[in-house]
Amino acid sequence: MSDAPTGEMLMRQDAEEHLRKGIEAMFFAYRGFTADPDRILADMAYGRAHHRAVHFINRAPGTTVNNLLEILGVTKQSLNRVLRTLIEDGLVESRVGTADKRERHLFLTEAGQALEQALSNAQRDRMRAAYSAAGPEAVAGFCQVLEAMMDHDLLRMYRLLSETDK
Amino acid sequence: MSDAPTGEMLMRQDAEEHLRKGIEAMFFAYRGFTADPDRILADMAYGRAHHRAVHFINRAPGTTVNNLLEILGVTKQSLNRVLRTLIEDGLVESRVGTADKRERHLFLTEAGQALEQALSNAQRDRMRAAYSAAGPEAVAGFCQVLEAMMDHDLLRMYRLLSETDK
DNA sequence: ATTTTAAGTCAGTGTTGTTGACATTACTAG
DNA sequence: CTAGTAATGTCAACAACACTGACTTAAAAT
């Protein structure tokens, strides 16, 4: 019934194995990626959603709610719950737009910046260690593959974010 | 007050920017990574947790509950809820251990294998596209950095999984 | 003047995680 | 053999974070 595997079949098998390894690597690595900030957030009344909001407000100060909604890819009800607590706790400031008064522009307060720093320092420390362990060529490949994995519109947003800071 | 930036300072700034890009790339790419299986699961009464369970049972057939708990990194109560529905729905079979009768060995039924195939095909298609877009050297770097990001014990598990299938 | 847009809110629901407590069964060590 | 420990499963309660759907307010656009 089954013939001996051809060279091409073996190559394909190898490629499938690489895919599977990559999938599992993503799973385990993402756990590490979020572990350190999660530990900091666990003590407070905040979670990963707060981290993401604070990160992108810091990244693009003055961004509007709609903008943030697109970046985060959640519903406005979901974001609003997070945003409300951050504003109540004095970590985020919401200013009425000048050009368009319907819009709210979001900024981190000093306390908000302090939290953002604490969270991203923890995350960056791990990232820095991984980068220096793997070396610069590996890092380039890492980013290339990640970009290729993104949905089209998310890739657009990712690139837009990088462009804005010259 | 502030002196002109030295060459070293500029290099550091550049490195920090790379870190930030990598962090955001992980965020956006992980969304793409889970998007396709999530779409399939949305129609059923299942979620991402079911996908993970099914994936690793397929990966290591006959694995025990404790084993799976370690791999997934959740509480037994959390896993049990997922596992119970999968067993009730006839996707997973739980066999009493022969050597140690306290243990339950987990297997996918034919229906379970069908679901696993559907989910991992969707995920692998995206991965395959990303791999061929980025090229083999990029893929090697991708995996290197991901491994360097993992927690020590997760890296051990990741490597153990790859070894078992020769 | 009507429609659309940006933002916020209320209520309900579902998945996935957590603690803590407890029961059953079976292996292990004394 | 008995006591302790280990593997599994379960009940209850709770929290974070996502969703849908419906609705309001204010301001901009047509």
Tens digit of each residue's pLDDT (9 = 90 or more) over A84-142: 999 999 999 999 999 999 999 999 999 999 999 999 999 999 999 999 999 999 999 99
- Choice between A4 and B97, residue whose per-residue pLDDT is larger: B97
Q: How does pLDDT run across B19-73, given as a tens digit for each residue? A: 999 999 999 999 999 999 999 998 888 999 999 999 999 999 999 999 999 999 9
**Cβ atoms B32, A152 nearer than 8 A:** no
User: Is the shortest CB-to-strand distance from A98 to strand D under 7 Å?
Assistant: no
More confident residue, A147 or A8: A147
Residue A166 has pLDDT above 50, yes or no: no
- pLDDT tens, A41-61? 988 889 999 999 999 999 999
**Which CA-bearing residue is nearest the C1' of D28?**
A100
- Residue B92, H or E segment: strand B92-96
Q: What residues in B contact A54, CB-CB < 8 Å?
A: none
Nearest CB to B149; choose among A19, A130, A147? A130
For the stretch B129-162, pLDDT in tens is 999 999 999 999 999 999 999 999 999 999 999 8
Structure tokens at A109: 């307060």
Rounded distance, CA B130 to CA B36, Å?
14
pLDDT band at B165 (very low <50, low <70, confident <90, very high): low
pLDDT at B5 exceeding the cut of 90: no
CA B20 to chain centre: 23
Question: Quick check: B1 pLDDT over 50?
Answer: yes
Look at A62 and A11; give whichever has higher pLDDT.
A62
The shortest CB-CB distance from A128 to any of B19, B140, B157 is to B19
Q: In which band, very low, low, confident or very high, does the pLDDT at A15 lie, cut at 50, 70 and 90? A: confident
Residues of chain B with Cβ-Cβ distance to A35 below 8 Å are 151
Q: Which domains does chain A have, with CATH numbers?
A: 13-134 (1.10.10.10)
User: Do residue B35 and residue A151 have CB atoms under 8 angstroms apart?
Assistant: yes
